[in-house]
Chain A
Amino acid sequence: MKINIKNEEIRSERVLRIEEIAGENIFKCYQCGKCSAGCPSADQMDLLPNQVVRNLQIGKVDAVLNSKSIWICASCFMCWTRCPRGVNLTALFEACRQVKLRENIDEVGLKQTIQEAEEMDIPQIAVISVLRKLTS
């Protein structure tokens, strides 16, 4: 699989926007992978947390915004707590969700989730967490 790395994508407007919302410098990351190693949801993700940052570094914003990972993230802050360089990945994930939400796309499936919540007796806090992902 080959990807083309393009100058114009690397510091594109959307990357800068994500950085701005998160208040974070993605180039602090040196790809040690400790975030992915500690993430409790990593095995459900299609892109590992460190791969999300890597894609942002090389300007592949679409790969990130179209990934399931940013919606699977439970905002537990484990990645940020463990990161040796202090990169706030939780904020970066949130910023990615914000960018996507502002395009008015419902990735969560609100109706279905609420229905499932009623049927499966999902804890209330988990439902709220899902709803929170729809606010921007």
Chain B
Amino acid sequence: MKRIGVFVCHCGLNIAGSVDIDKIVEEVSKLNHIVYVKNYIFLCSQPGQQMVEDIVKEHNLDGFIVANCSPTLHEKTFRNTAIRAGMNPYFVEVANIREQSSWPHSKEKKKATQKALLIIKATIKKLVKNLDYHSKRVDLTKRALIIGGGIAGIQAALDIADGGYEVVLLDRQQSIGGHMAQISETFPTLDCPQCIMTPKMTEVGNHPKIILRTYSEVEEVTGFIGNFTVKIRKKATSVDWTKCTGCGECIAKCPAKPLSVFDCFLSKGTAMYRDFEQAVPSFPVINRDACLYFQKGVCRICEKVCPIDAIDFEQQDEIVEEQVGAIIIATGYDLMPMSEQGEYGAGKYKDVIDGMQFERLLASTGPYAGDVKRPSDEKVPDSVVFIQCAGSRDPESNYPYCSKVCCMYIAKQALLYKHNVHHGQAYIFYIDIRSTGKGYEEFVQRVQEESGVIYIRGKASKVFKRGDKMVVWGVDTLTGQTVEIETDLVVLASAMIPSSGAFTLASKTRLATDKYGWFSEAHPKLRPVESVTGGYYLAGAAQAPKDIPETVTHASGAASKVLALFSNDFLESDPIIVQVDPEICNRCGYCEAVCAYDAVKLNSKTKIAEVNEVLCEGCGACAATCPSGAISHRNNTRSQIFDMISVATEDYKEITTKFDK
């Protein structure tokens, strides 16, 4: 590189206040390769950028340095300037003289100037050795896979499909719908999911761009952004879905009665089942663990009653492959296991249930068709005690986070219970009431004012049985007295935890999660729907506890990111990544082990490390790890780094040589 320009920014007084700009310009002008030096008050401003562009063209520069703020702020700005000026953008380097010199040395003008000069000199030395790299184009498959068919997955699928691209929607259950389908009514408007969700489910079922794969799980994911290959295990349904009409004869006649998973084990279902009446798809599956034929070799009644011979006892799991360009994780949540709440007798007493079980009791499609009866003896409960923060906000039981939805759904459940059992009394033990959504606080006020629900500020400590009653020990911190309540039914607002399949999925996709298992977003505030790895997006409660409106918003956000990705005809990869010198690589595989992005792999035959240029984020971890020095980071090679160090430590040369002796 022969013709380098240096642009020194004043950044108002941020830099010029402590760095002697004139001296910098004077000194830098004397250096080798420097053909032009210019200072300006705000380089990042429109006229500043225009000036740079004009000078690059006029003086035919083949590289330039901007001495200004951190590269995270304006490296991209000036690389774009370079592109406009017709120059390779990777011949632009930033000398950070603000965060690294003028700010920390704001009261030592001489030192700040001296250090700024060294930073610029070191950057020049680096730039001289930069090579001519260009970004690469990679093809893109414009199809999306959505894992999880709850309201998040449904919303994202509809948004992407309406945008014109094909979507594969995967769910491990027989039907899509997820937890929202189990809910009785939704706060704060009290719409039932049958009214607001089933139309969306039907739309998914009929959409020409959506391929529904229920009763299926992800087996393996390979590839990278734009080019994923996903192996999907279609679990054996024992019913030929290509023939089945969903008439339901087989379900009606099935004699095996296992507990219903959809009803949270509060009612008996059948071995031949669909999740619920409005299931999409409507075709049933056989629960082989409960089926009399699979367990005892008898029965086969379903086969006899099926009018079209759709029952297939011989069916095996099948692996299908899908090519997709983007993957949305919408795996949702579960509730913490009841067994973890021993002090509340959870799992021990039938009349201590969790929030989702009470939803089923309230639902018109539930075990008692919407009548609230307690599980032990089917008595209508004269009173119900609700315990909030049962597990949530509790570092001692490993769930220190707030589950976010309980304050609202407990208020709703107390109200619906009063609608059902007019003489009933509801008590709610709470620590704080968090009602921050639109219309939420008004709803809680309505519950308190109209339904006569007693809110008790304090946490319950113990639940035990006395006769046929449950006894709750708690405290009313507002009156400063301990409380004992005899009641018929206790409902725990158990903590939300990541869906039971999330852990396995995270290890199959190598996606990052936090320590509780929620999938990690790329940035907690500014990139909440993208995962850390390119091509993966997050929707709904897979990322953290969310209520329905927030889940839908999040899912639409993820869909819009996918649509933005698909609006490109190809992907461009950043060339400033690592490269392997196959002559030097000693096949140790350390690089593969440290790569967080699955980008470096040993070739299966030669065992020499290979870099996937699209996946590589250029973090440099492998380059630093490589014991033989075979991996180098483009434009940040060892010789460039050492050059920079020797320039930056010029002033200490005497000391270091003495030390060496």
Chain A positions within 8 Å of B, measured between CB atoms, are: 30-39, 42-43, 47-48, 50-51, 82-86
Contacts and interface: CB of A to CB of B under 8 A. Distances in A.
Given A37-B482, A48-B475, A50-B477, A85 B431 contact: no
B264 interface: no
B397 A84 contact: yes
Nearest to B430: A32
A34 B460 contact: yes
B395 A38 contact: no
B343 A82 contact: yes
Given A33-B459, A42-B482, A86 B474 contact: no
A46 to B, nearest CB: 9
Given A43-B482, A82-B461, A37 B475 contact: yes
B348 to A, nearest CB: 17
A37 B397 CA distance: 18
Given A38-B473, A51-B480, A85 B459 contact: no
A88 to B, nearest CB: 11
A30 B392 CA distance: 13
B633 interface: no
Contacts of A35: 461
Given A30-B431, A48-B475, A50-B477, A36 B393 contact: no
21 contacts: A30-B393, A32-B459, A33-B431, A33-B475, A36-B458, A36-B475, A37-B461, A37-B473, A37-B474, A38-B343, A39-B482, A42-B482, A43-B482, A47-B480, A48-B475, A48-B477, A82-B343, A82-B462, A83-B396, A84-B396, A84-B397
Contacts of A43: 482
Nearest to A78: B461
B489 interface: no
A34 B393 CA distance: 13
A84 B476 CA distance: 17
Interface string B392-403: 011111000000
Contact of B461 (A30, A34, A47, A85): A34
A90 to B, nearest CB: 15
Contact of B431 (A32, A39, A47): A32
Contacts of B393: 30, 84
A38 B461 contact: yes
B396 A37 contact: no
Contacts of A36: 458, 475, 477, 482
B301 interface: no
Contacts of A82: 343, 461-462
Nearest to A50: B477
A51 B476 CA distance: 11
B319 interface: no
Interface in B81-100: none
A59 to B, nearest CB: 19
A30 B395 CA distance: 12
B462 A37 contact: yes
B483 interface: yes
B457 to A, nearest CB: 7
Contact of B459 (A47, A48, A84): A84
Interface string B42-72: 0000000000000000000000000000000
Given A32-B458, A84-B393, 12 more contacts: A33-B459, A34-B458, A35-B461, A36-B475, A36-B482, A37-B460, A37-B475, A48-B477, A50-B475, A84-B389, A84-B394, A84-B395
Nearest to A54: B477
A44 to B, nearest CB: 11
Contacts of A83: 396
A26 to B, nearest CB: 16
Contact of A37 (B395, B480, B483): B483
Contacts of B394: 84-85
A38 to B, nearest CB: 3
B477 A31 contact: yes
Nearest to A79: B461
A93 B620 CA distance: 54
Contacts of B474: 33, 37
A39 to B, nearest CB: 7
A86 B394 CA distance: 9
A86 B461 contact: no
A48 to B, nearest CB: 6
A39 B389 CA distance: 19
Contacts of B482: 36-37, 39, 42-43, 48
A29 to B, nearest CB: 11
A37 B481 CA distance: 9
B505 to A, nearest CB: 30
Interface in B392-424: 393-397
Nearest to A47: B480
Residue from the set B457, B459, B477 with the largest chain A CB neighbour count within 10 Å: B459
* 7 residue pairs, one from A and one from B, having the closest CB atoms: A38-B461, A37-B461, A33-B458, A84-B394, A34-B459, A32-B459, A33-B475
